Chain A
Amino acid sequence: MEVKDKLINIFQDNGIYIDKKKMGEDIDLRDYITDSIQYISFIVEIEKEFDIEFPDELLLFDKIASLNGFSNIIKAIILDRNISQVEFNQNDFFIENDDFDENNFYLDQIEGDENEP
């Protein structure tokens, strides 16, 4: 199952139903998650589902915005869990119409970091 599908399932398990017709579009998560407690509960659900840990920068509520951006981050973490040195670009969390590109910023960073001592 795609990361985005799993994310949407986590939403549904927590009572948020996203119209399947909108699956191809990006979604502003701030319409659905309105405070820091909801946000961190959501983060915990995702970490459990994917068996991952988000970097500390992403534990802050004001980092949230785009479902696609979130989905991309999760993919990056899954592909290489040693991401502690990745520098996240805040713009990537905002609404945009990007499809995940394996050559994007995150993977480049991760691959570069692999050679770090």
Chain B
Amino acid sequence: MNRKDTNFLKENGYFFFPKMLQLEITRKCPFHCIQCYKKHLQDQDMDYEYLSKIVEKAICNGVSLFTLNGGEPLLYPRIVDLLRLIGETNIQTNIFSSGFNLTKDIIDLLKEFNNLNFYISLNGSTREINNLSREGYDISIAAVSELSRNDVKYGINWVARHDNVQDFIYVLSFCVEKRASYLSVTSNKLTGLCEIQSPLDYNDLILLSEYIKGRSSLYPLIFIESCFSVLSTLIDGNKNNFASHCYAGISSCTVNCDYTFQPCTHLEYPEKFASLEDYWHNSNTLRELRNYPSKELVPCCNCKHNKICSLCRAMSVETYKSFRTGSRSCLNYQAK
């Protein structure tokens, strides 16, 4: 960051250029997961030339994190070229995959470039539990074995739900057994049907926080995603909570493969603009997000966790449909 960028953030409350960029590189996916929020979208790939220009522009503007998502990102026709392109930039890049189409070429690239952080999405330690929300269990397990066998540093991405929360400790053991370096714990968000399936209840949340706090081993490293601050408030009120909030519109946005832009992959408010910068500075959707930060919304503003918690708008219908509404269904609301 330079002085100009810092002053812009100070004056406007958002970064001059997004520092984290989610790239929806393809909408193709072999699976039809129950929890999917993109089932209604047509298969499509992002044009590689367009994608290359976005990446180049982002690098020139100091982006610090790319996220590749889909669809299944490994089905992107030029995934090998893309991974090499991004790998050589040394910019941290998260890739979320089912493991489908994990080829030797891709494994070699993951080994070659330390900035490529590869996550296998898995919601259960057994087929039965995983199948309650995701498809492709056998493929994901095979991919994990392949990554482990090849000494690739990788992580598991796990969505917390009522139907899998008691399985968390077994997922943790699975990570240890398969030498996963990271376990990303993320919140259960609205599906394409605009509903939360198998939502956590308060006891689930407490159970999960106790599992995480009580574990004896440091590895795998557990990352609680910024969208899940309702959990992080329960786990660690002291460390690593600075700015642990939703970054959508402040430092992050999504570029879709159909040339539209939206605040986050989970906030489907696509808009067409001439360029990413044009969208970033002129989108009414982003303006709405910025003008109504969750800390100022009722009832969040009256909660004692207000300072360290930030609302993920995709975790309830009410907050998804209006950015001016706080979460009335929050599990960890406690009046000041």
Contact B239 A32, beta carbon cutoff 8 Å: yes
Q: Are A40 and B307 in contact (CB under 8 A)?
A: no
The DSSP consensus for interface residues of chain B is: loop
Once A12-B307, A37-B19, A37-B251 are accepted as A-B contacts, the answer to whether A43 and B6 lie under 8 Å apart by CB is yes
User: Contact between B247 and A37 (Cβ–Cβ < 8 Å)?
Assistant: yes
Mostly helix, strand, loop or mixed at chain A's interface?
Answer: helix
Contact indicator A32/B251 (Cβ below 8 Å) = no
Interface string of A48-73 (1 = CB under 8 A from B): 10000100100110000000000000
- Is B242 in contact with A44, judged by CB distance below 8 angstroms? no
**A14 and B242 form a contact (CB under 8 A):** yes
Interface residue B237 (Cβ < 8 Å from any Cβ of A): yes
Q: A94 interface residue, CB < 8 Å from B?
A: no
Q: Give the chain A neighbours of B20 by CB distance below 8 A.
A: 37
Count of interface residues, chain B, beta-carbon cutoff 8 Å: 24
CA distance A33 to B1 in the complex (A): 16
Contact code string B217-254 (vs A, CB < 8 Å = 1, else 0): 00000000000000000000111111110010001000
Inter-chain contacts of A11 with B (CB < 8 A): 242
Contact of A59 among B2, B15, B241, B307 (CB under 8 A): B2
Q: Which residues of B contact A48 (CB under 8 A)?
A: 10
Bound complex: CA of A37 vs CA of B15, how far in Å?
Answer: 9
Task: Please tell me the number of chain A residues within 8 Å of chain B, measured between CB atoms.
Answer: 28
Could you say which residues of chain B place their CB within 8 Å of the CB of A2? none
Contact A34 B240 (CB under 8 A): yes
Complex alpha-carbon distance, A12 and B307, angstroms: 8
CB nearest neighbor in A for B251: A37
Which of chain B's residues has its CB closest to A18's CB?
Answer: B238
Minimum CB–CB distance from A17 to chain B (whole Å) comes to 5
Residues of A within 8 Å of B9, CB to CB, are 40-41, 44
- Binary CB contact string for chain A from 5 to 27 against chain B (1 if under 8 A, 0 otherwise): 00000011111111100000000
Within the complex, what minimum Cβ distance (angstroms) separates A59 from chain B?
5
Task: Flag if A32 contacts B240 (CB, 8 Å).
Answer: yes
From residue A107, how far is it (CB to closest CB) to chain B in Å?
23
Residues of A within 8 A of B3 (CB): 53, 56, 59
A14-B243 in contact (CB<8A): yes
Tell me if A44 and B10 are in contact (CB < 8 A): yes
Shortest Cβ distance from B308 into A: residue: A15
Known: A14-B307, A44-B10. A33 touches B242 (CB 8 A): yes
**Is B209 an interface position by the 8 A CB rule?**
no
B contact residues vs A (CB 8 Å cutoff) = 1-3, 5-6, 9-10, 15, 19-20, 64, 237-244, 247, 251, 307-309
| A residues neighboring B (CB under 8 Å) | 11-19, 31-38, 40-44, 47-48, 53, 56, 59-60
A-B contact pairs, 12 of them (CB 8 A): A14-B241, A15-B241, A16-B242, A34-B240, A37-B243, A41-B9, A41-B242, A42-B242, A44-B9, A47-B10, A56-B2, A59-B6
Q: 12 new A-B pairs (CB below 8 Å) besides A11-B242, A16-B239?
A: A15-B308, A16-B242, A31-B240, A37-B19, A41-B9, A41-B242, A41-B243, A42-B243, A44-B10, A48-B10, A56-B2, A59-B1
